[in-house]
A and B are shown apart, each in its own frame.
Chain A
């Protein structure tokens, strides 16, 4: 069984400040990990993913995440927040050994304060 825990249902940062959204996972196999962003009343957009290889993954819009196996973490960061980053962020783990179903965390709402 797989699970994802996102610490903090709501994170607020000032514009220009560092964004850090936390994600911890549980998986019985080497994980495939994803971050998605959802804007109000819209579907999910893939930010970045980790499957194998380099543990620091760069995504769109200046976001990056680092896979740390020892900490079972996949935290999302961005050096400088922009107003347009305000959205809901979901971390997910994939069942790549089976049907590739995604198990999502509960999401973190990011607010950016001007």
Chain B
């Protein structure tokens, strides 16, 4: 149980284009999902907290107009990187809050490369 998927697993795009990443909780409903960014050999940096049916809460320093988050259902949250640039290249990981609230279940991550 508590499986989280992400799609795509890897994406390469041209500078200036937008990329959408999906995060799904497969066997449970998640009111809250989290989006993280991980740089090579670094820890996870929380970007935003996504709540179903409401606006996401962004961490300080994260551009909400660049990283659009939509949590349209209890099993799906999306992250759209708008007008992507090479510096947006990174590993993006989502997590879904379990029914116990305290545990986060992580997706496998999406590797984004912007050329």
Measured between beta carbons, the chain A residues less than 8 angstroms from B101 are 96, 100
Number of chain B interface residues as a range: 20 to 34
Stretch touching chain B among A12-20, A22-30, A41-49, A62-70: A41-49
Inter-chain CA distance A104–B106, complex, in Å, is 14
Q: Which of A41, A99, A104, A106 contacts B111 (CB 8 A)?
A: A41
Stretch touching chain A among B12-20, B41-49, B70-78, B80-88: B41-49
Give chain B's interface secondary structure class.
Answer: strand
List CB contacts (< 8 Å) of B5-27 with chain A: 6
Least CB distance from A65 to B in Å reads 15
Question: Is A111 positioned at the interface, with any CB of B under 8 Å from its CB?
Answer: no
Cβ contact within 8 Å between B43 and A104: yes
Given known pairs A42-B109, A43-B107, the reply for A101 and B34 (CB within 8 Å) is yes
Measured between beta carbons, the chain A residues less than 8 angstroms from B107 are 43
Measured between beta carbons, the chain A residues less than 8 angstroms from B109 are 41-43
Measured between beta carbons, the chain B residues less than 8 angstroms from A32 are 102
Cβ contact within 8 Å between B43 and A43: no
Cβ contact within 8 Å between B106 and A36: yes
Q: Which of A45, A49, A104 contacts B102 (CB 8 A)?
A: A49
Q: Which of B32, B34, B43, B95 contacts A107 (CB 8 A)?
A: B43
Measured between beta carbons, the chain B residues less than 8 angstroms from A34 are 103
A51, A94, A99, A105 — most chain B CB neighbours (10 Å): A99
Cβ contact within 8 Å between A46 and B103: yes
Measured between beta carbons, the chain A residues less than 8 angstroms from B6 are 43
Least CB distance from A12 to B in Å reads 16
Interface residues of A (CB under 8 A from B): 32, 34, 36, 41-46, 49, 51, 90, 94, 96, 99-102, 104-107
A sample of 26 inter-chain contacts (CB < 8 A) reads A34-B103, A36-B106, A42-B108, A43-B93, A43-B95, A43-B109, A44-B44, A44-B93, A44-B95, A44-B106, A46-B103, A46-B104, A46-B105, A49-B102, A99-B32, A99-B49, A100-B32, A100-B97, A100-B101, A100-B102, A101-B34, A101-B46, A102-B34, A105-B43, A106-B43, A107-B42
